[in-house]
Chains A and B, each alone.
Chain A
């Protein structure tokens, strides 16, 4: 009796059993899509903006649903070969039309997975320098240090050289400080070391180094290497240079201007004076 009911044709050659199998397939597909969405949200909630993540999840859910429906279609005796031809043709047309979009979408996915940058990072991509504001599905938004909004397609971000200034927890910077040839370099090094020791964010390890680097034209050049937490390195850099300058001046260490010593042989000087007197 039940078998008869299930085998009864509802419309055309489609039986109730076919409809039932199709419905169960779609329900299973929806469940799978929801489970995938749950795990995607859980895995990427800290990497993608909520609105972007929601869009991404919807797209992936739709793809899963389409695949599920496609796989369930044979129950209706639909010729998949025909559909493949039609679908393939449409697919090629769409692919050509949306080549850039797909490329940006794929690059966006890889950016999220590889995570070379994340919102809040200070970065440089080609000639654009700034802070990452948002990583969207198709583009990355960077706010430059001048406060300008820049939208970079993800394909460009992904294929460009990316410099991330804060991905490492600490970074090094350096100063070259010229002191006069008559100044005491040991004393200058001592003064600079004291300042570095006193600053909380000049890291203890790796320790800073201060040494005489070059005997330059106008000055003895001291080189100072400082490691600082990446989050605050710029403020440390700007603060310390002026403090070093003030401290050296206070201790009588000269920071000279460019200078050149010109020597004249005595006879040349005298000849010059005679010539001048004649004139």
Chain B
């Protein structure tokens, strides 16, 4: 019986698995302090994940399965209409909690002064939302989204023509910062000053339809920002991983099968500095 369990758990993660917690017919991932076994990836269910305050399981019933997820301050239970199947858990665009009011994220960071014509590459940290998707015949359907981070929203622009954004106060660095990947991701932003004068940049806004997340040893996004002036810039997230071997996340925007037009970039028309 024990051998059967070991097969269900990814071999590279075996060292982190607490075998004493195994149940007979369930794929289990239980994290003890200091280990970094990720919940991200494809899992067969029945399935269970536990790490600190986070608990996620799909228990088999007589005919159906029961999804249960607990994070501090939030508890979600759903019934799934089959006993066996596969789920995908991966980081998703951090714009849908507690309610979906926007598709934008806005970084506020220490001002960076850009020389005309120069390109500066910086790294910053963004909050991660976790999406749980059910595998379907024609793709993936969203089952649940949760987060371990605090949300705060803001307004970029004017109340009449601006955009509601997920507000992120972030530190910037010139090296990749360490992160807890269930909570945070790393965003690389290559800022290019296309204008004729020096520009101080302390804000960057990205639109959900341009966001592509990747995960592996860390969660990441890779972005570009073309700064035209103090008032205008163009941002886009590249569909490229930060490091080799990272997997691309299933996106909320595509799982919802919405008719939202995917724009190649977002034009920041209300400034790149703190107003």
Contact = CB atoms under 8 A, between A and B. Distances in A.
A200 B151 CA distance: 5
Interface stretch (A117-125, A167-175, A176-184): A167-175
Contacts of B151: 200
Nearest to A228: B153
Interface string A183-223: 00000000000000010110111100000000000000000
B153 A201 contact: yes
A170 B162 contact: yes
B257 interface: no
B160 A200 contact: no
B164 A229 contact: yes
B128 to A, nearest CB: 16
A175 B51 CA distance: 41
B90 to A, nearest CB: 23
Contact of A200 (B153, B155, B159, B162): B153
Contacts of A232: 99, 101
Interface in B105-159: 150-156, 159
A239 to B, nearest CB: 11
Q: Is the interface of A mostly helix, strand, loop or mixed?
A: loop
B164 A170 contact: yes
B251 interface: no
Interface residues of B, number: 18
Contacts of A169: 155, 159-160, 162-164
Given A168-B159, A205-B155, A200 B150 contact: yes
B155 A201 contact: no
B163 A203 contact: no
B214 to A, nearest CB: 26
B162 A203 contact: no
B167 interface: yes
Nearest to B154: A204
A82 to B, nearest CB: 52
B111 to A, nearest CB: 16
A168 B153 contact: no
A197 to B, nearest CB: 8
A6 B98 CA distance: 75
A22 interface: no
A205 B150 contact: no
A200 B152 contact: yes
Most chain A C-beta atoms within 10 Å of own C-beta, residue among B101, B102, B152, B153 = B153
A151 interface: no
- The 9 A-B pairs at the shortest CB distance, nearest first, are namely A200-B151, A204-B154, A168-B159, A170-B159, A229-B101, A204-B167, A205-B154, A229-B164, A170-B155
Given A198-B150, A200-B153, 20 more contacts: A168-B159, A168-B160, A169-B159, A169-B163, A171-B159, A200-B150, A200-B152, A201-B99, A201-B153, A203-B153, A203-B154, A203-B155, A204-B153, A204-B167, A205-B155, A205-B156, A227-B155, A229-B101, A229-B164, A232-B99
